[in-house]
Amino acid sequence: MNEIPVLLLAVLIDIILEEPPAILHPVVHMGSIIVWMKGFLSKTRLSGMIMTLAVISVFTAPAILIGYLDGPLYTLIAAVLLSTVISIRMLFTSALDVGRSLNNSIDEAREKLSYLVSRDTATLTDGQILSATIETLTENLTDSVTAPIFYFILLGLPGAFLYRAVNTLDAMVGYLDDENRDLGWFPARLDDILNYIPSRVTGFMIVLAAFLLSMNWKNSLRVLLRDARRTPSPNSGFTMAATAGALSVQLEKPGVYVLGDPRDLLSHEKLKDALKLSSLSLALFILSATGIMLVI
pLDDT reported for residue 1: 58
Q: How far apart are CA 198 and CA 208, in angstroms?
A: 15
The single-letter code of the amino acid at 27 is V
SS3 label, residue 206: helix
Does the pLDDT value for residue 245 go beyond 70? yes
Distance, in Å, from the CA atom of 190 to the CA atom of 42, rounded to the nearest integer, reads 20
pLDDT, one tens digit per residue, over 34-87 is: 999 999 999 999 999 999 999 999 999 999 999 999 899 999 999 999 999 999
153-188 as b/e, with b when 16 or more CB fall inside 10 Å? Answer: bebbbbbbbbbbbbbbbbbbbbeeeeebbbbbbbbb
When pLDDT is cut at 50, 70 and 90, the band that residue 2 belongs to is confident
Taking the C-alpha atoms of residue 291 and residue 33, their distance in angstroms, rounded to an integer, is 36
pLDDT at 108: 95
Closest CA to 25 of 74, 70, 86, 73: 86
pLDDT band at 296 (very low <50, low <70, confident <90, very high): confident
Contact 69, 83 (CB under 8 A): no
- What are the distances in angstroms from CA 245 to CA 8, 41, 54, 232, 262? 30, 44, 41, 19, 10
Q: What mean pLDDT value characterizes the chain?
A: 96
